[in-house]
Structure 1
Amino acid sequence: MKTKKLSIASSVAMLGICGSSLTHAEETFQLTSLTFATTKSAKLNAVTGVGSESESLQTLQFEHFGVNRWGYLYFDLESYNGRHVGAIPVINDGGQAYDLFAIVTPSLSLTKVTGTSFTFGPISDVSLIAMGRQASYYRYKTWGAGVSLNFAVPGFDWFESGVLTHDSSWNVEPQTFATNTGQNYRLDKRRWMWRTLLISKPIDISSQRFNFNFFAIVNSTGNGEVGKHGIEKFVRTELLWQIGGSSDHQLGVRYEYFRHKNSLSNGFGDNSYSSGAPYLMYKYTL
């Protein structure tokens, strides 16, 4: 596999540029952070390119969530670093020293743009939402749009869940995995995705303060030109301790779970892939 090689220094510079531009937008509520996370349990994942041959992986992440006058913008840029990241030994693919992955999610609040209340029971708002994901790994990308619901839930600053369309592609030659073909081959076409994002309010236990975050996407696959992976699942949960009671510096644990079918990481043919990776993490809020 051949991908454009960027140094860690270049990745950090990119994170800084993104952070500077996004945090100067007019926002009523925002969370912007830099995170370093490390694990010894990141199994190779031939669909997303996450994981390493040794299962040791370090993640550098820039994340921004900002609520504005028309809805919100969520942006996430991650650099996965390790030995042979995204390797597929069964086809003699040795992987890379790192993989870059980005998510952009703009959302349009119907309450804000129409001036009409969409409150109904626990539902506080209805939004039109889009999501795009892009990886350096085989130029993997996904895109979709749909409807999302916001809920007023005690103990949470943000509680949102919705359904989107789902399409994805790789830049590969089918059956050979030769890259840079100049043509994107469809993996998934006109499929569905369920997405959930939760951000807790501070949780006070004795004299200590904690935060809990949850992000999940579940999507169907198929109808494309390259393979089919059943129901793909990704779940990320975080439990963070505020050092000295300040949200600027947090230590904690992150748990990531992946599951799909027919993974090249397990060899060709009918199989199931699952991976659960606990991370130690440090988060600095800008």
Structure 2
Amino acid sequence: MKAGLILLLVLFHSHLALASFQEARLSYLYGENYRIGESDRQVITLEHVASTDWGDSFFFLDHMRFADGTRTNYAELQPRFSLSKKTSTSFVAGPIKDVLIAGHVEMGSNATNFLYGMGVDLDIPGFQFFQVNGYRRNNDDKANNWQLTLVWAVPWRFGEQQFVFDGFADWASTSSDQRANLNITPQLKWLASDVLGIKSKLYLGFEYVYWRNKFGIANSAALASNENNLNLLIKWHF
């Protein structure tokens, strides 16, 4: 497991020099209705997204601060290897723009999970991008299972103001020691930097989390694991 993580980190680092596009983002979230643990939390997130000559990648690190003073960190790395870029073969078919080999690493304090599978990029009118990724989950602390992930972004204008509606949806299957769970997390953001006269993009908005059976824990009267959580959001692109 550790060898696989080191290999992925080496690949991630080496591809940055080959990036045709890359961007870092820093965001702040505050919410009061988290489940499993303290309900009030602040989350500072560092993200990095890149497009390269072999595919694309997304990385984020969450630094979470709880109301009781506890602090924890959690990170994910998601490299995807484009078959069209590496084979010089077109995979365009209907709405399909590309087919990719998808990897995903979840790195927490208690477990490191490796996911592997396939992805497709779809061309849907009105969407900046729309991704569908299917994974087999190799879990550290639970039985292995399957995951389907959707990622999207929809930009639009209202007069002179610019907005973005983006986010992801994760569905993970049931296994011998966990329930199927669904996490839908969209963000609605207004581009405030134009009004404020800031060159770098600065967004203000909200993140909403709907997470059914969070972490695969069955929701019950004894332990409520269904999360409906609205967060205030500030995000800076640099």
Q: Would you call these one fold, judging by a TM-score over 0.5? A: yes
From the superposition, tell whether residues 275 and 264 of structure 1 become closer, same or farther in structure 2 (CA, over 3 Å): closer
Normalised TM-score (structure 2): 0.84
Task: State the shift of 1:22 in Å.
Answer: 9.0
Provide, for residues 10-55 of structure 1, a one-character-per-residue CA deviation record: whole Å limited to 9, x for no partner.
xxxxxxxxxxx79953322333200001011112x2xxxxx41xx1
> Which residue of 154, 165, 168 corresponds with 2:136?
165
- In the alignment, the residues of structure 2 paired with residue 103 and residue 73 of structure 1 have an alpha-carbon distance, to the nearest angstrom, of 11
State the secondary structure of the residue aligned to 1:31. strand
Structure 1 residue 284 and structure 2 residue 233: aligned? no
Cα distance in 2 for partners of 1:108, 1:146 equals: 11
Counterpart of 1:149 in structure 2: which amino acid? V
Which residue is equivalent to 1:77? 61
Amino acid at match of 2:232: L
Structure 1 residue 265: Cα displacement? 8.7
- In the other structure, the counterpart of 2:17 is 25
TM-score norm. by structure 1 comes to 0.71
Q: RMSD over aligned Cα, in angstroms?
A: 2.3
Task: Determine the structure 2 residue equivalent to 1:259.
Answer: 212
Q: Secondary structure at the match of 1:111?
A: helix
Q: Partner of 1:212: helix, strand, or coil?
A: strand
Secondary structure in structure 2 of the residue aligned to 1:273: coil
The one-letter code of the counterpart of 2:115 is G
Larger Rg: 1 or 2? 1
Q: Are the structure 2 counterparts of residues 285 and 22 from structure 1 closer, same or farther at C-alpha, using a change threshold of 3 Å?
A: farther
- Cα gap change, 1:238 to 1:264, in 2 (>3 Å): closer
Is residue 49 of structure 2 the alignment partner of residue 65 of structure 1? yes
CA distance in 1, matches of 2:174, 2:73: 23
Report the counterpart of residue 107 of structure 2 in structure 1.
134
SS at 1:113's partner residue?
A: helix
Identity %: 24
CA gap of 1:247–1:150, structure 2 versus 1, over 3 A, is farther
Partners of 1:195 and 1:69 in 2: CA distance: 23
Contact kept? 1:23, 1:32, Cα under 8 Å: no
Q: In 1, are the aligned partners of 2:16 and 2:50 still within 8 Å (CA)?
A: no
Task: Determine the C-alpha separation between the residues in 2 that align with 1:158 and 1:110.
Answer: 18
Aligned to 1:125: 98
Q: Deviations over 1:53-75 (max 9, x none)?
A: xx111000011111100001110
